[in-house]
Amino acid sequence: METLVYIALFAPFASSLFAALFGMSPKQTFVGIVASLLLFASFCASAMLAFHVWTTGAGIHVTMMDWISAGDLHIPFGFVVDQVSVTMMTVVTLVSTVVHVYSIGYMDHDKSFNRFFSYLSAFVFSMMILVMSDNFAGLFIGWEGVGVCSWLLIGFWYHKEDVSREENPSISPSWAANEAFIMNRIADLGMLIGLFILYWNVGSLQYDVVFAALPDLSGSVLNAAAIALFIGAMGKSAQFPLHTWLTDAMEGPTPVSALIHAATMVTAGVFLVIRANPLFSMTPEVSYFIAALGTFVAFFAASMALVNRDLKRIIAFSTLSQLGYMFAAAGLGAYWIALFHLAAHAFFKALLFLGAGNVMHAMHDELDIFKMGGLKKAMKWTYIYMGVASLALAGIPPFAGFFSKDAIIETAFNEGTLFLWVILVVTAGMTAFYSFRQVFLTFEGDERYKAFGIHPHEMYKYVLIAMSPLAILAVIAGFAQGTFEHFVTKLLPDYHMSEHTHHLSMMLGLIVLAFAVGGIVLAYRKYYKGLKRDKKLENSFTYKLLANQYYIPNLYEAIITKPYAMLSEMMWKDVDMKIVDATVDGIAKFLYKSGDASRKMQTGNLSNYLNWMAVGSVFLLVIAVISAMFV
Amino acid sequence: MIGLTHYLVISALIFSIGLMGVLRRRNLLMLFFATEVMLNAVNIAFAAISHYYNDLTGQMFAFFIIAIAASEVAVGLGILIVLYKKHGSLDLDDLANMKG
Amino acid sequence: MYETIAFYLFSALTIGLFLITVFSKNVLYAMTSLAAGMVLISGFFFILGADFLGVVQLIVYVGAIMALYSFAMMFFDSTKSIKEKNTNPALIFVLGGLSALSLVLMFAAPIYNESIQALYPMHEGVGNAQDVGIVLFTKYLIPFEVAAVMLLVAMISGIILAGKKMDQSLTKDTCVDDEILIKKDVK
């Protein structure tokens, strides 16, 4: 079993190193194939581990080697495979295998093909470390590792020029990459502080030791640690107010968006909350805040998705919204439901993104859904995939999203937080509307793309086949709810609906369903026949507010970026140039001048040299005498 | 009564005379003479210390200094002869061909 | 009493003779006074009881080295007085005076410190030459041998440098030398 753990962990690493060997050379298809095979091996190992954990019910704990041993600090490179981590491992490796195969087709014409696979596999490796580590330090390493890979991949097309915010809201890939990286650094500071608090009070970073010691800690320490850790989770999972990076991260290649910014990395924050559930269950105030913030973000992001015209951004907003759902569930104490939604969401969101990638490929990188329409003739399979994924996202039975999302909404009702419940239900309706608005605008109605002289074509066959596991899972994953609950609640606290809720569950489900269907019907009525633009609506204040993401990016720019740039310029011109540089230049000038002056000593005349030597030795003698006198 | 200090003072004086010669002279042969003066000044100091401390080490060093002086003169004079044959002069001002 | 008189006499004479050596314009005078000064220094050695050292001083310095100088002088034109552009005398006196002062101070310092002990004490009733011999051939045997080799090397190099084939350069290619000479002539 230990071998399987190492295969699951290091196969992506091997794949990354292998692809890196060819990083600078032109496209080699076999690099992609080898990487995909290694990822598949990692997936198989994860699946076998999952089966093992399922049958035995016990986790596997391996310690590879000592990592840090300094004084009392002792951190091993340990990995734990239990119900939670094996779920994450299977989801991550499955989605990444599909994405790797998909990328062979998608990145077909890109000249940095090999480099892309190197980064992608490195990301999977970091993610595996993140989920498998048995201590917070290892988790942090994986956390930073996925941050770096995310930065590399968002900025993959770093050569694109910066443009104005009106033209492209995320300015340029390199800008978006930096934004994502910096925002995550801000949050990581919170996470680090949380780790320090835990280490300071417990003296260890091992999960089991820390969780065992939690009851002995005071309430304020627990609250501080929970808040600090959640700030870290907020950054990685792009929760308000650190959410702007996620939509801008869509500048990266679409497989990256599917893998990192939908299915895996952004769920790391949720994973952290689930992993540290003993801590969060002991801090009800913080947990309630998490739930409230999650609900707010779910609604907030869905509202922005309503009016957006960019295919990938709509999906990105929906990712944000679904992450909000997960946090709501985790905050309300239904950790296994959060994990279940995480897994189900990973499947259909990755599928949705890959479908969007197909559309993008067909439309020659055009992303404006107002310029598409009627693509179903050219791209039947993509239409089916995206339709399935959207149904799952909208929460229509029997698709995966229905079960998981319904469970979350039911939890909100069960906890008596009716306000949250109402918002979550309304958000479910909005989700259905914006997903089908996008599907209809893209695939149905008049063929608006013809005006731009684009000839769309379906994606390669093998790519479509590679996507099928995700489609199947998006359809059937929901039925595994009971099994999944049984599986993970061996580790996570079980969460049951009360009798009262249980009685009402049918009705509650119907309410949610009604909102979802209502949203779809609205989208159908408005957009199925084609695009009819309503100038009055588009010029209204609300529409503009939503389309500009509540002006939050502009606000950040005005109150943070610009003053900081001004401050930097001031420091550069006044402090750096006038003090630091001047000092350095002064030293150099002094050396030059003294060299010029002392060059005259070099007369070539031995007698002069002897004089200088005598001056020097007399000088030394005098110093020796003086120092001897005073010692 | 003559003490050690007397000898050391005379040794220092002679050494300074030698140093003055080294500083003042431009003729290589005269420079050699000045060097000999300095070496002898040191020898006096050694011998005096040896005498007043009843220790033979000072005399030993004086012997070795004499040996070194002898070799220095042998080699140095050889070089002087070569230089003289080449440049026809022993004046350092004439020999300054390594100006930087 | 006689020692005091001898010391002051020798000191005055030595300083005078060496001043002549250093300041004289005539090589012959300088060399003669140097040789005389060295004889007087051997006088110091005799006063100090270092008989053997005094004898060595006479033989090596006054005998061998001075003879070498006088032979060497035959190569040079030594009859006319030397014309030198001497260095600024103020600098010389300042440097010389300062070095004399600091040296005296330095030499004096450890003497007033009482912690000096004899490493190889002299023996009562044994002659100086014998004493020197014993120490030289026991404690200083290796330096002595090295000094012997050094003298041999110096002798051989002196012979080679001043030897017969001095029209050929030992260190430089003769053609290059000629070129340098030609360039100098052009200047």
In a domain, B96, yes or no: no
In a domain, C143, yes or no: yes
pLDDT value of position B99: 64
pLDDT per residue over A44-87, tens digit each?
999 999 999 888 888 888 888 888 787 777 888 888 888 888 98
**Cβ contacts of B74 on chain C, cutoff 8 Å:** 68, 154-155, 157-158
A interface with B, Cβ–Cβ below 8 Å: 599, 602-607, 610-611, 614
**Cβ contacts of B69 on chain C, cutoff 8 Å:** 60-61, 65
pLDDT per residue over C124-139, tens digit each?
767 778 888 888 888 8
Contact C102 A614 (CB under 8 A): no
C98 → closest Cβ in A618, A624, A628: A618
Residue whose C-alpha is closest to residue A146's, from A123, A166, A167: A123
Contact B45 C107 (CB under 8 A): yes
- Dihedral angle sign, alpha carbons of residues A278, A428, A293, A351: positive
Contact assessment for residue A488 and residue A84, using Cβ atoms and an 8 Å cutoff: yes
Residue whose C-alpha is closest to residue A471's, from A388, A379, A359, A354: A388
Contact C87 A617 (CB under 8 A): no
Contact C102 A621 (CB under 8 A): yes
- Split at pLDDT 50, 70, 90, the class of B100 is low
Q: Which of C36, C62, C78 is the last residue of a domain?
A: C78
Residue whose C-alpha is closest to residue A75's, from A204, A246, A177, A179: A204
In a domain, B31, yes or no: yes
- Dihedral angle sign, alpha carbons of residues A31, A34, A38, A43: positive
Q: In chain C, what percentage of residues exceed pLDDT 70?
A: 74
- Split at pLDDT 50, 70, 90, the class of C87 is low
Closest approach of C67 to chain B, Cα-based (Å): 11
For an interface test with A, the pick among B17, B22, B32, B90 (most A C-beta atoms closer than 10 Å) comes out as B22
Tally of CB atoms within 10 A around A232: 26
Contact assessment for residue C37 and residue C14, using Cβ atoms and an 8 Å cutoff: yes
- Dihedral angle sign, alpha carbons of residues A71, A77, A82, A83: positive
Q: Which chains lie within 8 Å of chain C at 3 or more CB pairs, if any?
A: A, B
Helix C27-47 vs helix C66-75: crossing angle, to nearest 10: 170
pLDDT value of position B43: 92
Residue whose C-alpha is closest to residue C37's, from B60, B45, B36: B36
Domain with C33, as residue range(s), is 1-78
Residue of chain C minimizing CA distance to B53 = C118
Structure tokens at B13: 């004086």
DSSP class per residue in A362-431: HTTT--BGGG---TTTT-HHHHHHHHHHHHHHHT-TTSHHHHHHHHHHHHHHHTT-HHHHHHHHHHHHHH
Structure tokens at A476: 């059937």
Interchain CB contact of A625 with C (< 8 Å): yes
Contact C95 A621 (CB under 8 A): no
Closest approach of B38 to chain C, Cα-based (Å): 10
From CA A336, how far away is CA A566, in angstroms rounded?
47
From CA A67, how far away is CA A80, in angstroms rounded?
16
In a domain, B46, yes or no: yes
pLDDT value of position C76: 75
B29 → closest Cβ in C27, C100, C170: C27
This model's pTM is above 0.90: no
Q: Residues with Cβ < 8 Å from A610, sequence gap 6 or more?
A: B22, B23, B31
Contact assessment for residue A237 and residue A323, using Cβ atoms and an 8 Å cutoff: yes
pLDDT value of position B19: 87
From CA C176, how far away is CA C102, in angstroms rounded?
48
**Cβ contacts of C103 on chain A, cutoff 8 Å:** 621
CATH number of residue B8's parent domain: 1.10.287.3510
- In B, residues 12-71, which contact A (CB 8 Å cutoff)? 19, 22-23, 25-26, 31
CATH number of residue C45's parent domain: 1.20.120.1200
Return the bridge partners of A75, or none. Answer: A68
Contact B99 A603 (CB under 8 A): yes
pLDDT value of position A152: 92
From CA A508, how far away is CA A486, in angstroms rounded?
23
pLDDT value of position C145: 93
Across C100-106, average pLDDT: 78
Question: Cα dist. C64→A599, B41, B70, C56 in Å?
Answer: 42, 19, 8, 10
**Cβ contacts of A625 on chain C, cutoff 8 Å:** 102, 105-106
Domain with B73, as residue range(s), is 4-90
Contact assessment for residue A327 and residue A270, using Cβ atoms and an 8 Å cutoff: yes
A625 → closest Cβ in C87, C95, C105: C105
Contact assessment for residue A282 and residue A222, using Cβ atoms and an 8 Å cutoff: yes
pLDDT per residue over A294-308, tens digit each?
999 999 999 988 888
- Split at pLDDT 50, 70, 90, the class of B52 is confident
C interface with A, Cβ–Cβ below 8 Å: 87, 91, 95, 98-99, 102-103, 105-106, 109
Cα atoms in the 13 Å half-sphere on the side-chain side of C74 = 6
Contact A614 B99 (CB under 8 A): no
Number of structural domains found in chain B = 1
Query: Would you say residue C175 has pLDDT above 60?
Result: no
Q: In chain C, what percentage of residues exceed pLDDT 90?
A: 24
**Cβ contacts of C87 on chain A, cutoff 8 Å:** 607, 611
Phi, psi of C124 (to 5 degrees): -70, 140
Contact C118 B55 (CB under 8 A): yes
Contact assessment for residue A138 and residue A204, using Cβ atoms and an 8 Å cutoff: no
In a domain, C181, yes or no: no
Query: Would you say residue B95 has pLDDT above 80?
Result: no
Structure tokens at A439: 């599907």
ipTM of the complex as predicted: 0.89
In a domain, C35, yes or no: yes
In a domain, C187, yes or no: no
Closest approach of C93 to chain A, Cα-based (Å): 12
Tally of CB atoms within 10 A around C72: 22
DSSP class per residue in C130-172: HHHHHHHHHTTHHHHHHHHHHHHHHHHHHHHHTSS-TTS-SSS
pLDDT value of position B55: 84
From CA A296, how far away is CA A232, in angstroms rounded?
18
Contact assessment for residue B73 and residue B32, using Cβ atoms and an 8 Å cutoff: yes
pLDDT value of position C115: 59
pLDDT value of position A370: 81
Query: Would you say residue C99 has pLDDT above 70?
Result: yes
Q: Residues with Cβ < 8 Å from C21, sequence gap 6 or more?
A: B21, B33, B34, B37, C30, C31, C33, C34, C37
For an interface test with B, the pick among C161, C174, C183 (most B C-beta atoms closer than 10 Å) comes out as C161
Q: Which chains lie within 8 Å of chain B at 3 or more CB pairs, if any?
A: A, C
B23 → closest Cβ in A603, A605, A611: A611
C102 → closest Cβ in A611, A614, A622: A622
The C-alpha angle with vertex A273 and arms to A271 and A277, in degrees rounded to 5, equals 115
**Cβ contacts of C100 on chain A, cutoff 8 Å:** none
| A603 vs C79: which has the higher pLDDT | A603
Question: Which residue numbers in chain A have pLDDT < 70?
Answer: none
Tally of CB atoms within 10 A around A390: 30
DSSP code, position C122: P
Across C41-56, average pLDDT: 90
Question: Within A155-267, where are the H helices?
Answer: 173-202, 207-213, 219-236, 244-248, 254-258
In a domain, B10, yes or no: yes
Across C155-168, average pLDDT: 74
In a domain, B36, yes or no: yes
Contact B96 A610 (CB under 8 A): no
Q: Residues with Cβ < 8 Å from C88, sequence gap 6 or more?
A: none
Across B6-19, average pLDDT: 88
pLDDT value of position A363: 83
Query: Would you say residue C14 has pLDDT above 90?
Result: yes
Residue whose C-alpha is closest to residue A268's, from A95, A142, A411: A142
Closest approach of B94 to chain C, Cα-based (Å): 11
Contact assessment for residue B28 and residue B90, using Cβ atoms and an 8 Å cutoff: yes
Number of structural domains found in chain C = 2
Contact A606 B92 (CB under 8 A): yes
Q: Residues with Cβ < 8 Å from A494, sequence gap 6 or more?
A: A336, A485
- Dihedral angle sign, alpha carbons of residues A319, A323, A328, A333: positive
Annotate A100-112 with b (16+ C-beta within 10 A) or e (fewer): bbbbbbbbeeeeb
Query: Would you say residue C3 has pLDDT above 90?
Result: no
pLDDT value of position C184: 63
DSSP class per residue in A236-255: HTT-TTS-HHHHHGGGS-HH
- Split at pLDDT 50, 70, 90, the class of C112 is low
Query: Would you say residue C117 has pLDDT above 60?
Result: yes
pLDDT value of position A466: 86
In a domain, B97, yes or no: no
Q: Which helix (H) or strand (E) element contains residue A531? A: none
Contact A607 C102 (CB under 8 A): no
DSSP code, position A538: H
**Cβ contacts of A596 on chain B, cutoff 8 Å:** none
Tally of CB atoms within 10 A around A616: 10
Residue whose entry in the numeric block shows the structure tokens 């929901």:
A478
In a domain, C5, yes or no: yes
Return the bridge partners of A438, or none. Answer: none
pLDDT value of position A194: 92
DSSP code, position A578: I
In a domain, C93, yes or no: no
- Split at pLDDT 50, 70, 90, the class of C41 is very high
